[in-house]
């Protein structure tokens, strides 16, 4: 069985997750208490840290987008976007959809309406506060978290041509150490956080599905039924991973998004349309009016459990979910400027989410005050998962729309699990693009097992607690990502090299080394830098009398040949090599249709390891030739007529 994993990350993350799940299996009651205790400790000790960090992430996102760094491209300076602007915005629009919006579109506004943190329950003031809070939880703060991870991945992957892993974003801080245990620990935390974040979404999804099946068809809404649904849906997700049906999953996702939008338009049309349009404008005004206050609200003077159940849980959920969404938006944003990226990511999905929440949330409140006579609020208090279905029962065509809602949640479930498994596999494989199917299947199954066991241990409360805990270490990593990105972008703007631990300037080399985008550029580098380096070594070899040497250039391939007598020949070749841009999700095109990036590679013949020398200077390439020649000499034996001399550098 082949693999392409980073074993330390793959098995390290698996061990951490297995330890937590093992405790859940062996002592579910104890695990439930432990989860709640850990959640309370996390909130009491680090609640302020979550609030301050998310505020900082938003400031950093805005500063990068609208500051001098905004003009830098996610790629080379002449890189063109992979997708047209409208298509790119449409995909960001799609990224705003998910199980969370399906689950909380009705449940959250109604919950805040009947149990607001400040206003009197069931009043007009409570309705206003409910929508302002909902907008806050799904607004630019959430997308700033996604944007920070996405911009770090995109910047270091496309501008610096580094692996599609989170550790790459920390290279300006830790230098070469990100390739060792430190980088492995970072990726382990990212994998664990992503697993628990996605498992939380899957938990919400399966709870809403079983509630819908119970509401529509009388199927028992029990934990056992939830487990069966998880097995069935994760089975479908696993099959999609194994099939590799990229276009099929992509079309399924597009269809799902289209149906979701049609459902929203239907509610807007049959509901109180004019009221909803007026409410949308006023809700946005309330959001802006309370923006700064809610950004830093902790209820420090009057502690309440509401913060842990809502704002702090949301911030932790978004942080845990950010590697998944961050990779999605990074993958589709190559060639955009940082300013384009930030404007698009912060504001386009937020605008759609505000519309979605207004249509469902305000319609639910309006119905509860009128036709429903408190029926929706009663359903929410009884079982949060039934909120959407109870809401739809008061609108025309309830039988069809509620069945459609169950189907939408199921497909969101499948596509989230499928794409999530591929993202986690990328993180656990050191950013590798092509991995064996069994690895993807492994993570897909693990996601389902995690969601199922946490539901057994304590339902959605256990999932929330696990998310809060898993997000904590990753929050620290995100702070470092922000600092690393600021440092690298400032260095790129100023042309000041960043130094590693040994004091060696690497910034200039990074800028040159990690910027090939076309075959023509790499071939020009071979002609202008690589070939002269080979000729300088060739001339030095002739001057030292080591044997016949020659440099041949043909079809973009530059070859240094050294004949040393006795049939011994050393060859050093420079050529342009391509690879597809990073892909991590079943929504992407097959490898044969992806955009390619090119690099200058060196090897010493068939079977030798190919090395990326993109951006090397003439002196650095010459030094690499001598390094490889000495290694070859050691393997092949002493060269004739060398007199025991050590090879010297090329003639200057």
Span of 166-175, 242-251, 296-305, 601-610 with lowest mean pLDDT: 242-251
- Tell me if residue 518 falls in helix, strand or coil: coil
Whether 641 shows a pLDDT value over 80: the answer reads: no
Strand 557-563 and strand 596-603: pairing?
unpaired
Between the CA atoms of 615, 619, 621 and 627, what dihedral angle is there, to the nearest 10 degrees? -140
pLDDT in tens, 179-221: 888 888 888 888 888 888 788 778 878 888 888 888 777 888 8
Residue 574 in this model has a pLDDT that exceeds 60? yes
Say how many Å lie between the first and final Cα of the chain, rounded.
51
> Per residue in 493-539, pLDDT tens?
875 445 443 343 444 444 444 444 478 888 888 988 899 999 888 88
pLDDT above 60: residue 593: no
Percentage, residues of the chain above pLDDT 70:
83
- Residue 243 pLDDT greater than 80, yes or no: no
| Res 649 pLDDT > 50 | no
Backbone region of residue 137 per phi and psi (left: phi > 0; alpha: psi in -120 to 50; beta: other values)? alpha
Q: Which one of 331-340, 445-454, 457-466 scores highest in mean pLDDT?
A: 331-340
* CA quadruple 619, 622, 626, 627: dihedral sign: positive
pLDDT in tens, 289-346: 999 999 999 988 888 888 888 898 889 888 888 888 888 888 888 889 999 999 999 9
Question: Would you say residue 157 has pLDDT above 80?
Answer: yes
The top-scoring range by mean pLDDT among 64-73, 433-442, 464-473, 634-643 is: 64-73
Task: Give the residue carrying structure tokens 């990690």.
Answer: 514
User: H or E stretch including 437?
Assistant: helix 437-494
Residue 62: what pLDDT? 95
Give helix 124-138 / helix 273-289 axis angle, nearest 10°. 70
Q: Count of CB atoms within 10 A of residue 2's CB?
A: 7
Average pLDDT, the chain: 81
Q: For residues 629-642, give the mean pLDDT.
A: 61
Is the distance from CB of 477 to CB of 191 less than 8 angstroms? no
Number of helices (H) and strands (E) in the chain: give both, helices first. 24, 5
Q: Which of 109-118, 325-334, 520-529, 580-589 has the lowest mean pLDDT?
A: 580-589
**How confident is residue 365, by pLDDT bands cut at 50, 70 and 90?**
very high
Mean pLDDT within 552-558: 85
> Is residue 54 scored above 90 in pLDDT?
yes
Length of the chain equals 652
Would you state the pLDDT for residue 113? 93
The mean pLDDT of 56-85, rounded to a whole number, is 88
């Amino acid at each position: 069985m082949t693999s392409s994993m980073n074993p330390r990350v793959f098995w390290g993350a698996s061990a951490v997750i297995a330890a937590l799940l093992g405790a859940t299996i062996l002592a579910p009651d104890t695990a439930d208490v432990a989860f709640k205790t850990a959640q309370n400790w996390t909130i009491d000790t680090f609640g302020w840290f979550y609030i301050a960090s998310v505020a900082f992430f938003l400031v950093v996102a805005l500063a990068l987008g609208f500051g001098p760094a905004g003009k830098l491209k996610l790629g080379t300076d002449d890189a063109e976007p992979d997708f047209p602007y409208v298509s790119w915005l449409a995909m960001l629009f799609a990224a705003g959809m998910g199980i969370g919006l399906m689950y909380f579109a009705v449940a959250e506004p109604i919950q805040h309406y009947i149990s607001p943190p400040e206003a009197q329950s069931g009043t007009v003031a409570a309705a206003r506060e409910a929508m302002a809070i909902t907008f806050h939880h799904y607004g630019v703060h959430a997308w700033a978290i996604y944007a920070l991870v996405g911009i770090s991945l995109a910047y270091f992957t496309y501008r610096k041509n580094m692996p599609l892993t989170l550790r790459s974003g920390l290279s300006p801080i830790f230098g070469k150490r990100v390739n060792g245990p430190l980088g492995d620990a970072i990726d382990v935390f990212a994998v664990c956080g992503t697993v628990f974040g996605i498992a939380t979404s899957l938990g919400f999804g399966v709870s809403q599905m079983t509630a819908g099946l119970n509401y529509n068809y009388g199927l028992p809404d029990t934990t056992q039924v939830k487990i069966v649904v998880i097995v069935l849906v994760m089975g479908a997700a696993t099959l999609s991973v194994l099939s590799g049906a990229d276009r099929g999953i992509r079309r399924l996702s597009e269809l799902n998004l289209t149906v979701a939008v049609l459902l929203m338009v239907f509610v807007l049309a049959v509901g109180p349309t004019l009221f909803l349009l007026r409410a949308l404008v006023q809700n946005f005004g309330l959001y802006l009016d309370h923006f700064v206050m809610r950004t830093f609200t902790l209820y420090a003077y009057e502690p309440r459990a509401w913060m842990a159940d809502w704002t702090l849980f949301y911030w932790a959920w978004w942080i845990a979910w950010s590697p998944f969404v961050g990779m999605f938006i990074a993958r589709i944003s190559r060639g955009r400027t940082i300013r384009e990226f930030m404007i698009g990511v912060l504001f386009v999905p937020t605008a759609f989410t505000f519309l979605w929440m207004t249509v469902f949330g305000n319609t639910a409140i309006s119905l509860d005050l009128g036709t429903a006579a408190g029926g929706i609020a009663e359903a929410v208090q009884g079982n949060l998962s039934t909120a959407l279905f109870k809401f739809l029962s008061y609108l025309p065509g309830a039988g069809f729309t509620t069945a459609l809602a169950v189907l939408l949640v199921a497909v969101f479930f499948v596509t989230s699990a499928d794409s999530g498994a591929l993202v986690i596999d990328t993180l656990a494989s050191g950013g590798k693009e092509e991995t064996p199917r069994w690895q993807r299947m492994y993570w897909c199954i693990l996601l389902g097992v995690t969601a199922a066991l946490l539901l057994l241990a304590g339902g959605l409360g256990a999932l929330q607690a696990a998310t809060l805990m898993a997000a904590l270490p990753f929050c620290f990593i995100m702070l470092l990502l922000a600092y690393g990105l600021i440092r690298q972008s400032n260095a790129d703007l100023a042309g000041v090299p960043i130094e590693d631990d040994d004091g060696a300037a690497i910034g200039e080399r990074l800028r040159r080394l990690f910027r090939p985008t076309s075959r023509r550029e790499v071939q020009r580098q071979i002609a202008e830098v690589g070939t002269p380096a080979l000729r300088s070594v060739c001339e030095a070899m002739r001057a030292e009398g080591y044997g016949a040497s020659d440099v041949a250039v043909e079809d973009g391939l530059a070859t240094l040949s050294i004949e040393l007598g006795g049939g011994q020949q050393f060859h050093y070749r420079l050529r342009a090599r391509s690879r597809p841009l990073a892909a991590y999700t079943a929504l992407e095109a097959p490898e044969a249709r992806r955009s390619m990036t090119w690099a200058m590679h060196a090897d010493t013949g068939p079977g030798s390891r190919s090395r990326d020398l993109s951006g090397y200077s003439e002196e650095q390439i010459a030094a690499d030739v001598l390094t490889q020649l000495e290694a070859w000499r050691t393997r092949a034996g002493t060269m004739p007529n060398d007199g025991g001399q050590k090879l010297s550098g090329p003639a200057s």
